[in-house]
Homo-oligomer: A and B are copies of this chain.
Amino acid sequence: MDPVPPLPDQPRITNATLSDVARAAGVSAITVSRALNQPHLVRPGTLAKIQAAVRETGYAKNRAPAEHGTDRSKLVALILPTVANPIFADMVQAASDKLTDAGYQLLLGLASYEVWREEILVETVLSRRPDGIILTGTLHSDNTRRRLQSISIPIVETWDLTPFPIDMLVGFSHEEVGNTVAARMLTKGYRRFAILTADDPRASRRHLGLQAALGRQGIEVVATDVVPTPASLQLGREGCARLLARHPDIELVICSSDTLAQGAMTEAVSRGLRIPDDLAILGFGDLNFAAHTYPPLSSVRVDGSLIGALAAHAIVERLTGVPPAKRMPAVTDTGFQLIERGST
């Protein structure tokens, strides 16, 4: 079907307005507006005339005056660090689907894990008067918090929990992840822990939780290696190599993402280490590939799609006037799950 020659039809009248359509249809502008937005309020005959006139004039809807007049933009902003991390890509996909279904469009802002970027993005985004905002994390600049608290649209913070959300919250406790991992790995007999983490605030929280939990058992993390975001297999290999160089006797490397973990495994295997006997490795995210590495990767499963869908859902519920009693709670713990597959 492709390539295709240029279509014969010539450009229609661009920028036809409602009045143009109205004139062509022999009705008033407001009737055209109704025909387009609330067709059930218009008599079928009139509707047909108007539809013909729309085609004839090549009319394309124009939301700018509508937004100006009504202050409803049908826009929802999603602000996240990056879309290169598959857990965020999943979130975007799920949020986009839900929002599109509900008649909203997605304004995307990527903040690269930097609070100051987020601040700028929020300010820019607010200039479009979005009907709702989805943020990543609960760590924002004071300006951002103040600005967001002063407005009355639904806001969802995601991927985290906090006692002081700006508005709504969909996520899980990163400290709790650390606790759970510590408890389980101690049970399995590991004592010499290393951390391989990307430079990401939520990952740090998980590892602080881990260290605290280990500390309560009198155990210290032997070594920590921090790599820049976004993580890659290469960074995982290199990080693992540094850890092993400094501390050849570590038993377990806990990684802040599956990608780092897979890179670390590659390094370990290439050195002839047996996994998990010589070196155990734990990932985070539990991405699709975790079940398909050699050996299959143990990982903490979190669900980006779920977070995206729930966040979008929370916003749409508010906007469509679902009564508070029937809405999802303002704080939703999406949970996580430690999955063991053979690398620990």
Q: A interface vs B, CB < 8 Å?
A: 1-7, 9, 11-12, 14, 58, 60-65, 67-68, 71, 73, 82-84, 86, 89-90, 92-93, 96-97, 100, 105-110, 123-129, 138-139, 142, 145-147, 149-152, 160, 162-164, 201, 205, 232-234, 237, 262-263, 266, 288-289, 291-292, 294
Contact = CB atoms under 8 A, between A and B. Distances in A.
A258 to B, nearest CB: 11
Contact of A125 (B105, B124, B142): B105
Contact of A110 (B97, B109, B126): B97
For the complex of A and B, list the 4 residue pairs with the smallest distance between their C-beta atoms, beginning with the closest.
Answer: A11-B150, A61-B127, A3-B162, A64-B67
Given A107-B106, A127-B61, A3 B90 contact: no
Contacts of A164: 3-6
A214 to B, nearest CB: 21
A64 B149 CA distance: 22
A7 B62 contact: no
Contacts of A90: 84
Contacts of A83: 83, 89, 92-93, 96
Contacts of A150: 11-12, 14, 58
| Copies of this subunit | 2
Contact of A109 (B14, B105, B142, B149): B105
Contacts of A58: 150
Contacts of A82: 93
A208 to B, nearest CB: 11
24 contacts: A2-B201, A2-B205, A4-B139, A6-B149, A6-B164, A7-B145, A11-B150, A14-B150, A60-B123, A60-B147, A61-B127, A63-B128, A65-B68, A68-B68, A83-B93, A84-B86, A84-B90, A92-B110, A96-B110, A97-B110, A100-B109, A106-B108, A234-B288, A266-B292
B107 A262 contact: no
A64 to B, nearest CB: 4
A146 B7 contact: yes
A147 B84 CA distance: 32
B129 A3 contact: no
A332 B164 CA distance: 50
A3 B171 CA distance: 14
A110 B93 contact: yes
Contacts of A201: 2
B292 A262 contact: yes
